[in-house]
Structure formats: structure tokens, C-alpha cells
Structure 1
Amino acid sequence: MTSYNKIISFFASLALPAFVYAQAPLAYNSSGTIDKEMREDFVVIPDEADDIDIPIPSFIKRNANHIIYNGADWTGLRRAFEMSKESPVSIVHIGDSHVQADINTSTVRELLQYDFGNAGRGLVSPLKICGTNQPTDYVFQSSNSWNTVKLMNTSWMQTVGFTGTSIRPASSTSELTIGTKDTDDYNPFSSTTLFHNGKLSIKEVTDADGNKLDFRAIPSRDYTQIILSSLATKINVKFASAGDLTLYGASLSGERPGVFYHSIGNNGATFDSYNRIGSVGLGINPLHPNLVIISLGTNEAFGRQDIARFKRSIHLLVSNVRQANPDALILLTTPMECHRSVLTKSKARVRRKGRKGYRTVTRTNKTYAVNRNIAPLRKAILDYGKANGVAVYDWYDVAGGTGASTSWINSDLFAKDRVHHTHKGYNLEGRLLYDAIMDALRSQN
């Protein structure tokens, strides 16, 4: 057990989610057909490993582990971190399944909060209610029935919020239980902000033992803040809904200085799918982001390539975030090299059962090959950042560059699908991103 894991501090520690993916290979075959094992609804298995202080393999390009500023001025972010003992710093990390699991992002969160203080768990989403995998360090559940929509659903029967999730109560009165999980780390909150569309009327708030809590509800157009009379780790909120109320998530705050590291991840997500929401920038605005990290591109590598369209999609999301959050820095990250499945058919002669002679059968064989679409998408992100003054973290290069996927497979850092990482691989990714952020905070650009 490392020093990181021994620290149980009110201000500076979070429980690190401990789970890995278990699933069959996910990719497209050689004809471009979607191999549905890739994009959505992973099976999550607990992992006893909970060590973020892991050795950094020799194939990691540590000399490349830095932010490429592209002319972006990070002075304001450095100043915000310097003032983190007086007011919280807010980071929002948007991504796909790599982020939804919240292993790499929880590593960054834990390390930054160890250095600068724990402002609270931050954003939590109703992923489990929507029928998909949810990070293990928080609770977002209900005994009621809900109409649900996920970002990657083909049709949306109700509004989808900036979190990529949407739940609508099936009755006029409902309840939600929201909070942090029971762990060795104490991470209480004194206020929660419910993000929603439509009228929300809070009737009662109780703690984990069912005791009524005094509270003050402050409604706004797109959210309702609930100020609690005392600290809590879990609350049950009873409310009345009218009309087309939909909820997207909540933010848990300790109303104390330090760092918020909010993560928004959706399995199978692309730039286009977030652009489909149309209001991501406005949605994250109440989180007051100082830095918005966007980690997308992996799923685009399993479809048809149109680099010009891809750059337009990047620009649309970046512009949407910038317009609503003009003081926030934006950091794009590139996806690392991964594999795709290749299906081939072969014919074989087999002996007939109980009869003389042979028959010919067709067999489908699955193999893997490097996904060659990743490299041009990585270049497109680098080119876009350079042309538009947006900082980039070149994870492709840091992870080892071309050929890195083989090294990751051999080091048990890639999951069986050769697209996602193991728990150890995500911890490594998070640790390296943390190092790059800390390097940026120390340097002068």
C-alpha cells in the first residue's frame, strides 16, 4: 500500500474506484461493420488492485508527457490553483467509455485533491438508473420508475442533458438517493445541485438514517441547489414534478476550497454525439470550470474516415464550450493506438458424424490488427489545436506512439478487447495526465 492510499484526510482524499472491464473484443470487422461488443454496456468486475503509485514502463515517452500549449495562456489556471485554499478550482473532463468508468479520471482527482484539497465529489450522473455502468464511489439510485435515455440511443424520447443521461419520473412524486459510497475515506457534502429541465419542487430531504434534514432550495432555470443544514454523505430527496421534468445529474459540494474534478463519460461517445446535445457548454457552466478536458476520438476510428468533417465536429464542440465558458481553458487529448477486430472466413473439410465421408464447413475467425484510423485522427486533433490556439495533450505519443498497443498488451495494460485498458492501465494513464498538469502548473508559457 502506497502513501497515497494511506492518507485518509477530510480535505484531501477520495476513494479510488476499483473495477475493470470484462467483455468480449469490441471493434469493427474488415468491412467496416460495427462489432457491437465495442461501444456500450460493459460488464464491471471488482478489482482488488487499488494502487495508483505504479511503476512507469520504459516504453512510456516521459519526455513527451507535457501539455502542448499552442499559444494558449495558462497563467489564469496557475493563479486559480495558487488560490485553491481560498476558492475551489473546477476541472470538467468530457469523454467516452474511457471516462465513464472513472478510473483514470479518479486517479487524477485523487492526486490533485491530495495536493490542493478536496472541494467535493463533484458531478454524479444517473448512469445506473439508465442501465449502464456507473463509477463505484457514488450512489445515484431510486425506488421509483423512470423513463430513461442515454446519449448513444438512436432516438431520444426526451431531452438529453450535458451529462449524456436523462431520467424522467413516471409519477408526480418521486425520490432520489444521492451520495458518496461508504469507504475508508470521508467525503461529505453540505450542498447538492440537481441539474434538470422543467419544474422541480423539493418536498423533503433526509439523511442516510432517515432523519429529516433542514434545507434550503434555491431554484434556477436549469438547476436547483439544495443547501443542507449539516454535512452528509448520503441524502434522500423527495420531490414533486410537473409536466416534462427531466433530470441529468447532480453535483456534490463540501462548500470548501480545493479541487473539483468532474467527469462526464458515455460509452461509445464521439464529438458528434455530444454536439447532438447542443448545450454542453451551457450545461457545464454552473460547474464554473477553469479547465475543460475533452478526450474523444477513439470511437470515430471505428467508422468511415472524413478528416475535414472530424475537424468541424471538434470545432463545433470546442466553440460550444468556449461560448458559454469564455474564461475556461480547453485541453484536447489524442487517443492512443488501439486494435480492431478482423473477421475472416475459411472453409474446412470435417468428417461426417456417423456417416462415411467428409463435408465442407465455413468457419469465422476473429483476429486483431492495429486500428490504422487512430493515427490520422490524432494528427487531426494536433492540427486543429495548433491552428486554433487550443492546448493538446498528445496521449498517443506519451503512451508510446506507433506500436504502443503491442507494448500495452504485453504489459497487461490493455483489456481483452484491445481498445480499453485494464485497471492498472487506467491508473497509469491518470497518473501521467496528472504529471502533465502539474508540469504545466509549474512552468511558464
Structure 2
Amino acid sequence: MPLKHLLFAALVGMACTCSAQAATSAVPGESAHTGWAYSDSCRTFHRLWTTMDSVQSNRSGGLTVLYIGGSHVQGGWIGHEMRRLLAAWAPQAEMSRGMHLPYRLAHTNTPTHFRTEMEGSWTADRCTRGKGQARCEAAPIATGILAYPEDSAAIQHVSYLPDSSRTAYTSIQLWTNAERAQWHWTGNAPLRACTPLPGNLGWQLELARAADTLAVCFVAPEKAGVWYAGMNGQNVSATPHITWHEWGHNGLRIRHAAAQRGWDNLLQQLQPDLIFVGIGLNDAVDGKRLNVPAYAAHYEALSSILRSSGAAVVLLGNTPAMHRSTSLAAPSASIGNWLRQHSRAHGMGYMDLTNALGGPGIAAEWIEDERMQPDGMHFTAKGYSAIANALFTAWMDAYSQAQKAPSLNSATDAQPQQ
């Protein structure tokens, strides 16, 4: 991790610890159950607001967001709508998907507006469940999926923005353990240079111009043990830019996410300003058997790593849901109560998605008007759009209130005690 981020992470820990009990509603007078509840004196949120000021005013820099969750995130509809909303909020900024993960190779659904094509023979593991969890321990970066090319194999990714244009990048992080002689770039822009990424994470590719087709061919012996974990598209320019990363895996439980190796390396590569964490709905399916202390222990392990990145972290309560005709309101409330306490104790934000969307009893109404699927757990594109709008509105309300607060402009970094 760069020195400036190490120092910043240390200062963040001190600043948030000092004000851990100062959690307030993001909007004065509004219940913390509908908006963001966060510590208004935590440096991570001041840094987020300053970054947003710079991007919106067309000065410089970039805003990077990482959303971690289960099938709600993997489907991609929340991210798709958030990119549309952010593009309207800062129309002069370049918009990016960022991570391109090989979902299709693992025989699971790809996010909307994202396409993967492949040739040759591949196998893949989903690192968040099943036998793939143990095999994924060999990778030093936590993307949640590892794919293995056999002999000669190729892969390409193409992604689309809400306006139907393709995302394009001048710089690519290729996450793989393949040696330089075992792969070659086949995307639609010439490769100008490549250098190894630190920590044996793969390669940094610099292109002669922007490429909207990210493609690589691997040539490796069958038993060479080569793995591929995805690509991360980047643009280096003076133009403000916004990147919305999605780390979503169907069926995700908190123990799955906490067990992933390589979170620190992933966060060092992405450098997020804001992290949303939406993990708990699949845990709530346990109902009366939900083990809250075990859930808490796993969550504490993950959130400690996320906080060390220096990003502002917002924990999301569960969406309203039913499982096999049984309401998950009670276990979700137990999870939400713990998340609220945990966020307050460690300088993070919290948002109750159940109340923000209308309460625990909305399933029948939302199924009727086609915002929720008949299973009572998952949503339609229309429903996910509503979730994205609730997230975006609460975020922008918190930002608006922060702009009015004198502390945003006068706050100083916490200093180490002598």
C-alpha cells in the first residue's frame, strides 16, 4: 500500500475511534432508519465529501465506489442504475465499470450490460462457496472467482454504460499469475507497455489508445497452474471520472466474504473512496437458527480490513424479504440492530434498507406491481432501480447536509498523540 494511504489509514482509525459514539442521522431531524446514520466527525466521510466536491465541480480526480454483496449485486441492475444517476449528477465526468470478473466461466449469471466471450478449454471456481473455496486460497486477490485456462484459451469482456456506449480504458490491470510468455493482449487497441503488478497480482497494461474490448489469450501448459481472476479497467486523464465497482456473488453469506484471502490486495488496487456492504440476507434465511454472535465475528473480521483501506464504509441492512412464504423480518431486524451498533462503534455509516423501501411488509405489493419476483427474495429490474434510487437519495442527502456543515471546510486531520 502506498505510504500516503498507510498514514491516512492510521489517522482514520484514530479520528473515528475518538468520535465513535457521535453517530448522528445524516439528515438532521430525520430518522437514522431511513437515511444514512454516520459519525459526522470521521475523517473518512470528510475525505469522501471533498472528493465529491472536486468531481462535481469539474476540477480533477476521481470518485471510486465499491459495492459488496450477494445476488442483488451480481445481477448488476443496482450498479447500472447508480451509474445512470451518477452520470446525471456529474455529467462532465467519465463513467466506468472498473472490475470485469469472469462470471460466465464459473457457469453463473453475468451482470446486466456486461458480456464475456471465451474460446478454448476453461475451468473455474466460485471462491465464495463449495469446493472452490479451498482452491481459491492460492490466489492473492479476492475477486471471488478464479478461472483456469487449459493449454490455449482466450477470453474477452465488453461492458456497456446506461447510454448504451461501451466503457473504454487506456490502462488495464490483468489479474493473473501467468508469466509474460504465457499470455498476449488481443484487445482492440495496441499494447504500448506492460509491467508486473506488486505482490505477484498480475500485470499493468498501458494501451496506445482507449480499448472497449478487453481481451487476452493464454498459452500455458495444461498443468502449469495458471489462474485468471479478472481485469480492472482504468483511465488516467485530467478529466474527472467515476468508477462503480461491483463485487457480487450469489448466495453470499458473511462467513464466505470474511474467508476470502486477498481483500487487502484488492483494495490496494481499487483504492475506493466509498464502500457499500450489503451482506446479511442469505444469513437471515436461517430464521430462528441465526447465530448472531457468529455473524458478528465474521463481519468484524471483514469490516476491519475494509476500514483499513481509508474508504468511508456504509453498512446496509437487509432488503424486505420472504423465504418460502416466511417473513425474514425478525432475523433481518436482529442483523440490522447489530450492524447499527457496529457502525456506530467504528466510525462507519449505516442504512436500513427495509425501512427506506417502505417497511418489512412490502413483498406482496411489490410482487403485484412487478418490482419483486414471486420468490419474495429477489427483485426485478424495476425493483432494483428503486433500491438504487433509495441508496442514491440517502447518499446525496448526507452529502448535501455535509456541505452545509462548517466542519467540512474547517476540519483538520487527527494528529498522533505524543
TM-score bucket of the superposed structures, by smaller chain: 0.7 to 0.9
Counting aligned pairs with the same residue, the percent is 20
Contact persistence 2:121–2:149 (CA under 8 A): yes
Q: Which moved more, 1:411-420 or 1:88-97?
A: 411-420
Report what 1:49 is aligned to: none
* Structure-to-structure mapping, 1:4-403, within 5 angstroms: 65-71=34-40, 72-73=42-43, 74-84=45-55, 85=58, 86-116=60-90, 117-156=93-132, 158-159=135-136, 161-171=141-151, 173-181=152-160, 184-197=164-177, 199-201=179-181, 203-208=183-188, 213-220=190-197, 221-241=200-220, 243-256=224-237, 257-303=240-286, 304-323=289-308, 325=309, 327-341=310-324, 368-371=325-328, 372-403=330-361
Aligned partners of 1:200 and 1:241 also within 8 Å: no
Question: Are the counterparts in 2 of residues 163 and 265 from structure 1 also a CA contact under 8 Å?
Answer: no
| Residue identity in the other structure for 1:369 | T
Aligned-pair CA distance for 1:332:
0.5
Q: 1:290·1:329 contact (CA, 8 Å) conserved in 2?
A: yes
- Is the partner of 1:104 in helix, strand or coil? helix
Per-residue deviation, 1:180: 2.5
Instruction: Say which of 424, 427, 434 aligns to 2:382.
Output: 424
1:202–1:217: 8 Å Cα contact kept in structure 2? no
Structure 1 pair 198–158 and aligned structure 2 pair: CA distance change class (3 A): farther
Check whether the contact 1:163–1:248 (CA below 8 A) recurs between aligned residues. yes
The CA RMSD measured in Å over matched residues stands at 2.4
For the 8 Å contact 1:175–1:238, the answer to whether it is kept is yes
Q: CA deviation at 1:91?
A: 0.7
Moved more, 429-438 or 82-91: 82-91
Distance 1:113 1:163 in 2: 26
The answer (yes or no) to whether the contact 2:178–2:202 under 8 Å persists in 1 is no
What is the number of residues matched between the two proteins?
353
Q: How far apart are 1:247 and its partner, in Å?
A: 1.5
Q: How far apart, CA to CA, are the structure 2 residues paired with 1:235 and 1:306?
A: 43
Distance in 1 between residues matched to 2:235 and 2:113, nearest whole Å:
16
Partners of 1:213 and 1:245 lie apart in 2 by 24
Calculate the TM-score normalised by the size of structure 2.
0.78
Residue identity matched to 1:69? Y
The runs of 5 or more residues in structure 1 that have no matched partner are 1-60, 342-367
User: Would the aligned equivalents of 1:297 and 1:377 in 2 still touch at CA under 8 Å?
Assistant: yes
- Quote the offset at 1:64 in angstroms: 5.2
Q: Write the letter of the residue equivalent to 1:75.
A: H
Give the Cα–Cα distance (whole angstroms) in 2 for the partners of residues 317 and 423 of structure 1.
29
Question: CA distance change for structure 1 residues 154 and 206 in 2, over 3 Å: closer, same or farther?
Answer: closer
The change in CA–CA distance for 1:153 and 1:402 in structure 2 (over 3 A counts) is closer
Residues 168-212 of structure 1, C-alpha deviations (whole Å, 9 max, x = no match): 1112x432212325973243222221123454547543345xxx7
Q: Distance in 2 between matches of 1:219 and 1:194?
A: 10
Q: Secondary structure at the match of 2:38?
A: coil
- The verdict on how the C-alpha distance between 1:402 and 1:236 changes in structure 2, with shifts beyond 3 A counting, is closer
After TM superposition, the score normalised by the length of structure 1 is 0.74
What is the CA distance between 1:399 and its match in structure 2? Answer: 1.3
Counting helix residues as a fraction of each chain, which structure ranks higher? Answer: 2
One-letter amino acid of the counterpart of residue 186, structure 2 = T
Q: Deviations over 1:240-277 (max 9, x none)?
A: 44733212111122334211010010000011101111
Unpaired segments of 5 or more residues in structure 2? 1-29, 406-418
- Report how far residue 81 of structure 1 moved: 1.3
- Asked whether the 8 Å contact 2:357–2:390 carries over to 1, the reply is no
- If you compute each CA radius of gyration, which structure gives the higher value, 1 or 2? 1
